[in-house]
Amino acid sequence: MGEYPVVMTIAGSDSGGGAGIQADLKTFSALGAYGTCALTSITSQNTTGVLAVHDLPPSTITSQIRAVASDMDIVHAKTGMLSSSDIILTVSEMMQEYGIPLVVDPVMAAEAGGSLLRSDAVKILQQELIPLSKVVTPNIHEAGVLAGIKVNDWQDAKEAARRIADAGANAVIITGGHLDGSDLLYDGLDFTLVEGELVRGGTHGAGCTYSAALTVFLATGHSLRDAAAGAKLFVTRAILESRPVGKGVGPVNPGWHTLRTAQMYEVLSDVREAVTILESSAGFADLIPEVGCNVAAALPLAASVDEVCAVRGRIVRLQDRARAVGCPAFGASSHVARIVLAAMHHDAGLRAALNIRYSGNVVEVIREMGLAVASFDRAHEPQGVSTMEWGTRTAIDTYRKLHDRVPDVVYDLGAVGKEPMVRLLAHRAVDVAGLGIEIARGLGKE
């Protein structure tokens, strides 16, 4: 099957870009597949609903599929909006002619509202296309229509899955976005709960994105259960990473995977460069605290330590030079990572931090550099909290009330058994490293 399979979506076009072939092709690309398409209908659609639908002639759909299938090895295909009996019959004939494995997403309505499947075509879908599929992926509304029952809970979902399978489906995945967020997989013999949770975010195109991800995972050789789990994780994150772009139901963001990978590379490179800057300095070693220091940078919108990159094992003083004990990695430092997360709570752009030793001279040099300085008292630290997170947030809160901005530096004078510390904040790791070098230079150490 290879690492770069050719897959196809046979579906409608969403002019708003959130669902249909637009969502499918974005998902294919994000997961490393080569996406092709056969357009079935053109919708005038946005985040508030479907304004108009224009179906393409069956001959045009046939020619699109034949053009691709005669030239490329389509490993797997998926269907989306197939609005009429004639279109469904056309797609069924093409899938049988070329023997292409198929995921059927029985799209019946847009997330924002508007019918996308004529009621008289449901029976043809059940009789002609679903039996050709490797798996069919209805939501609870679609499952209810296909099974002829109303799905209100998981017992109803199981009964619906049995009926759909008995009617010819090889396997059924009832997606649970309208229940508790989990999916139900039925392979004709056993039920498997693909666990998930309801998350906040735009859901326009969620069904398309899920079935497209499932198609890619199947095309790359995953079992149905593993593909279902992978697709679940992908669409959940696509919902979480959605952005409001219209006045209605926000579209999911299938590009989150590609964007996040690029962001991780950029942050990792940033921390590596910062380490090089610090290790190349002749004087920075004098600013390293007894417990060592670390430089960290977070991904945009980071919410956990695992989304913050820092040096594994910290930076220590070795033969009058700063030396990183380990390599930069995400989740490597809880200490400095919590400083970054606390700063981001107030200013999402402050995604980097560096801790250095405290002295009166250090703070004096910092003030002479024109940096905004805040502090906190560890004597007021509540029990059971992280000093780094609580202290940084407390100092920033106090400073903002007085100056209406976030400080560049936060320090404390320590406590019994706790070394005093200075924390430098900036947008990038190389920026805080540069501040560290400038402070060393101001102390006459550089």
Same domain, 389 and 269: yes
Question: Total domain count for the chain?
Answer: 2
**Cβ proximity of 310 and 295 under 8 Å:** yes
- How would you label 133-165 residue by residue, b for 16+ Cβ within 10 Å and e otherwise? bbbbbbbbebbbbbbeeebeebebbeebbebbb
Mean pLDDT, the chain, whole residue set: 92
Q: Which among 253, 282, 306 is the end of a domain?
A: 253
* Mean pLDDT value of segment 215-233: 96
Q: Which of 230, 253, 276 is the last residue of a domain?
A: 253
Q: Note whether residue 1 is domain-resident.
A: no
User: Tokens for 263?
Assistant: 């962001």
Q: Which pTM value belongs to this model? A: 0.76
Is the same domain home to 294 and 195?
A: no
Range of the domain at 43: 6-253
Rounded to whole angstroms, the Cα distance separating 138 from 120 reads 18
pLDDT of 117 over the 70 cut = no
Percent of the chain, pLDDT > 70? 96
**pLDDT band of 1, cuts 50, 70, 90:** very low
Domain identity same for 168 and 272: no
Residue-wise pLDDT tens digits, 346-363: 999 999 999 999 999 999
Predicted local confidence at residue 109, as pLDDT = 67
Mean pLDDT check: name the lowest of 297-301, 338-342, 388-392, 395-399.
388-392
Q: Which residue has the tokens 């109803």?
A: 156
Weakest mean pLDDT among 22-36, 110-124, 359-373, 428-442:
110-124
Residue 139 in domain: yes
Q: Which of 32-41, 97-106, 321-330, 437-446 has the lowest mean pLDDT?
A: 437-446
CATH number at residue 319: 3.40.225.10
User: 39-70, pLDDT tens digit by residue?
Assistant: 999 999 999 988 999 999 999 999 999 999 99
Per-residue model confidence as pLDDT tens digits over 296-319: 999 998 989 999 999 999 999 998
Final residue belonging to a domain, choices 200, 229, 253: 253
Give the CATH number for residue 89. Answer: 3.40.1190.20
Q: Is 200 in the same domain as 347?
A: no
Shared domain for 246 and 269, answered yes or no, is: no
Q: With beta carbons less than 8 A apart as the criterion, state whether 328 and 312 touch.
A: yes
Does residue 162 carry a pLDDT above 50? yes
The residue among 2 and 247 whose pLDDT is bigger is 247
For residue 114, is pLDDT > 60? Answer: no
Q: Let me know whether 161 and 66 are in one domain.
A: yes
pLDDT interval class at 198 (50, 70, 90)? confident
Q: Are 432 and 411 in contact (CB under 8 A)?
A: no
